[in-house]
A and B are shown apart, each in its own frame.
Chain A
């Protein structure tokens, strides 16, 4: 099967202009291309793919697309996939770029009269396989690019959603928002502990107002964070436990074994008192107005 498309490079190099013309007009017919991609880019990419395909086949590249002979072709396909994904093409539209090459090539092949039917069939089958592989590779690249974007966004989300705020000298606050899974707990814990060191804080208030549910797993993660902070020499206060969550905690039989307060304000007041500070309301004298 490896030699099935032995005549393909010859076919391409001889008829490159015709092939390119047919191919591009076919791509144009599918409509979606014209609106978003520039003519020159389309032409350049199509020509590039044909040239690289030809030279790779002439160099005797094996069937496996991962081989080094195919690296130039792969690069072109990656570029094609990259430009089209950024222009908002669907994966199917991107793959059509490659698949639409089949028709012009087959037309050329049928126009050749010197070969017998059996050989022609073999060639068609071989070319079919090759182009399928190229097309699939394009789709794969598009998909992995998308997955990279998703992974990056997820990472950004994790970092954004766990800020450590310094409320006062020696008092940190950690407002948690969203569900606590083990991965997020890890990030939260690391952030908090690092900040404990850099700001040499003795108190950390973990506010769970934004945590929708507390189950045994979340509680365990909270306990881990509190224990780690305690090992470093800082005390933790948990605040923002909503009534439903308090009920769940008791129903589940969880023991948090930490100081907990209903609101962040209460927790802050406690931390201030423990660090030997107090907040007083100033009595405004009626004569001096607001000051």
Chain B
């Protein structure tokens, strides 16, 4: 069975989906990723779907769920590289993925995660000073 690798970069996890997603694979990814976030104490998760050509409502919902779960585990999730056709399909399906942050590519996604983490730390620092 195919396996989607989860790579650790600093305090971020990078998931690059290079195969066509099917339902069981999506569930497996959800399980592996949540476990990995806890083990590695990751602060951010990047999901690269630039190679993903077909997205159905289930995969869309799973992506949203993964992002929400990662948020619960205190990791910021950014979905990057969505193709135009996939974006249009998701919108037509009525899935706007409200829980997901998005970026155009991995580069911009990393910057977004870095900024969010810095903002959080800044707020905490400011809170301690007061």
Contact = CB atoms under 8 A, between A and B. Distances in A.
A190 B84 CA distance: 7
Contacts, number: 59
B51 interface: no
Contact of B97 (A186, A202, A224, A231): A231
Interface string B48-75: 0000000000000000000000000000
Contacts of A108: none
A232 B91 contact: no
A194 interface: yes
Give the interface residue-count category, chain B. 20 to 34
Given A190-B84, A194-B84, A231 B91 contact: yes
B16 to A, nearest CB: 16
Contacts of B84: 189-190, 193-194, 196-197, 228, 232
B88 A189 contact: yes
B87 interface: yes
A228 B87 contact: yes
Contact of B104 (A190, A224, A232): A232
For chain A, what secondary structure do more than half of its interface residues adopt (helix, strand, loop), or is it mixed? helix
A228 B91 CA distance: 6
Contact of A232 (B82, B92, B96): B82
A78 B84 CA distance: 42
A212 interface: no
A196 B104 contact: yes
Contacts of B83: 197, 232
A232 B87 contact: yes
Interface string A255-271: 00000000000000000
A234 interface: yes
A197 B87 CA distance: 12
Contact of B87 (A193, A200, A201): A193
Interface string A124-157: 0000000000000000000000000000000000
A190 B89 CA distance: 11
Nearest to B80: A233
A29 B91 CA distance: 64
B102 A233 contact: yes
B96 A227 contact: yes
Nearest to A224: B91
Interface of A: 186, 189-190, 193-194, 196-197, 200-202, 224, 227-234
**10 closest residue pairs by CB, A with B:** A193-B84, A233-B103, A233-B102, A228-B87, A231-B87, A233-B104, A228-B91, A227-B96, A227-B91, A232-B82
